[in-house]
Chains A and B, each alone.
Chain A
């Protein structure tokens, strides 16, 4: 009976949860919270302005093609020091790429694809959705905690039992927080395809994305997050095959120019 009452109450609260979209102002502050609380507590920024400026130029080159104008304060592309091959997008236009990723890229076109993939997450509002869900989960946890206490007391439960209920609801909140660490595979696939479109429309060689994926597959152990996804070969292979099809269907072509290859090599040499 107690469980039934609890389930009924849960259902009511979930049903009543608001689902309004984050405004750009909120997304900006959600991005700041992600950067402050998670990224800057783990990673440091690469103290090389030339590399940072170059990555921002490549990033803006694809971002300005996205059809969605800049977020509240604009995009912020940052290179962080880590041998992991990873890049991530926080809400509000905060995009981070590791030095390990820069080392994995063979030319500017591959880097452009990595950044375009992250911009694509922004275009699809994936970080905003995650932030919204995390917020809702947190609010839900708080509400449930209060209800748990109330039901526990009303049903004559001990304080310890009440605490257990609170902890269960706390776990729900933690799941919400956990979502911030990575996007689901279908979102990654979606960003893969849109990223291709962004680079191709800018004139970058979209086929470079395939080289990037092949390299990642052969260096699987170092890849994490978006490029490790579920952390296994089939996932990367599956994603590569999917973009291979798109490239063939849409007849994306182009080759990396000498200028682009040279300027990328100069920047990459600074972090090697």
Chain B
């Protein structure tokens, strides 16, 4: 009986030692500054009150960018950008380099480019689904064609720059050229006495 008790006690000590070790490991994980990769959902960056969305538009973070988090508060990580401003990012939007590579590779295998992290998770709001739906329904295909005509070019071309439709050039430029957009909107605001 006494031996059984000793065994149980030893086991408890061992368990608490393992638990303490894993707690230390978690603690290490929370030490900052730490380096992360930005995953595709990072466009939901939050700006702090001192930096406006226009600043963000001029200096956005891209999927795959490496960021250094200097502190974490309520699930948001504070990072410094090259313009010296502080910004906050949802820590859930960040992954480690290893995780990023794995997700990207999986997305590529699924045939979805543009860092389609979401597609790899098997949702189905993606280019592949759009193509399937278009093939099965001519009316839907017509809608996609009209959408692409409005957007200027198919989605996969957007990153290359657009404006293949001369009379929509101003609007397309405003949609896809962030610097131009920031400048145009600022002029529009100044003219209208807005801040």
C-alpha spacing A263/B144, complex, angstroms: 33
Q: Are B46 and A67 in contact (CB under 8 A)?
A: yes
A32 touches which one: B53, B130, B175 (CB < 8 A)? B130
Cβ proximity bits B12-37 to A, threshold 8 Å, 1 near / 0 not: 00000000000000000000000000
Cβ proximity bits B157-178 to A, threshold 8 Å, 1 near / 0 not: 0100000000110110011101
Minimum CB distance partner of B176 in chain A: A74
Minimum CB distance partner of A41 in chain B: B143
Minimum CB distance partner of B158 in chain A: A73
Q: Are B118 and A26 in contact (CB under 8 A)?
A: yes
Which residues of B sit under 8 angstroms from A29, Cβ to Cβ? 125-127, 129-130
- Which chain A residues in 239-272 approach chain B with CB under 8 Å? 257, 259-260, 263
Q: Are A27 and B125 in contact (CB under 8 A)?
A: yes
Q: Are A53 and B170 in contact (CB under 8 A)?
A: yes
Smallest CB separation, A41 vs chain B (Å): 5
> Known: A60-B181, A64-B57. Contact between A32 and B155, CB under 8 A?
yes
Which residues of B sit under 8 angstroms from A72, Cβ to Cβ? 40, 43
A220 near B: Cβ within 8 Å?
Answer: no
B124 near A: Cβ within 8 Å?
Answer: yes
A64 touches which one: B117, B119, B185 (CB < 8 A)? B185
C-alpha spacing A135/B47, complex, angstroms: 30
Most buried by B among A23, A69, A259: A23
Smallest CB separation, B59 vs chain A (Å): 11
- Count, A-B residue pairs, CB within 8 A: 157
> Known: A22-B123, A26-B119, A32-B147. Contact between A61 and B167, CB under 8 A?
no
Minimum CB distance partner of B41 in chain A: A23
Which residues of A sit under 8 angstroms from B188, Cβ to Cβ? 57-58, 61
C-alpha spacing A203/B171, complex, angstroms: 24
Q: Is the interface of B mostly helix, strand, loop or mixed?
A: helix
A110 near B: Cβ within 8 Å?
Answer: no
A45 near B: Cβ within 8 Å?
Answer: yes
A36 near B: Cβ within 8 Å?
Answer: yes
Smallest CB separation, A59 vs chain B (Å): 9
Most buried by A among B118, B146, B193, B194: B194
C-alpha spacing A122/B80, complex, angstroms: 26
Q: Are B139 and A23 in contact (CB under 8 A)?
A: no
B77 near A: Cβ within 8 Å?
Answer: no
Q: Are A41 and B139 in contact (CB under 8 A)?
A: yes
Smallest CB separation, A136 vs chain B (Å): 10
Q: Are B47 and A53 in contact (CB under 8 A)?
A: no
Which residues of B sit under 8 angstroms from A61, Cβ to Cβ? 185, 188-189, 194
Cβ proximity bits B44-59 to A, threshold 8 Å, 1 near / 0 not: 1111000011101100
Cβ proximity bits B113-138 to A, threshold 8 Å, 1 near / 0 not: 01111110101111101100100000
Kindly list the 9 A-B residue pairs having the minimum CB-CB distance in the complex, ordered from nearest: A36-B143, A23-B118, A26-B118, A30-B125, A26-B125, A29-B125, A40-B143, A203-B194, A64-B53
Q: A27-B125, A57-B184 are in contact. List 15 more A-B contacts (CB 8 A).
A: A24-B44, A25-B114, A25-B117, A29-B129, A33-B125, A37-B143, A40-B146, A65-B52, A68-B46, A69-B47, A69-B57, A72-B43, A135-B124, A135-B125, A204-B194
Q: Can you list 11 pairs linking A and B with CB atoms under 8 Å apart?
A: A26-B119, A29-B126, A36-B130, A36-B143, A36-B144, A40-B147, A60-B185, A61-B194, A64-B52, A70-B178, A73-B155
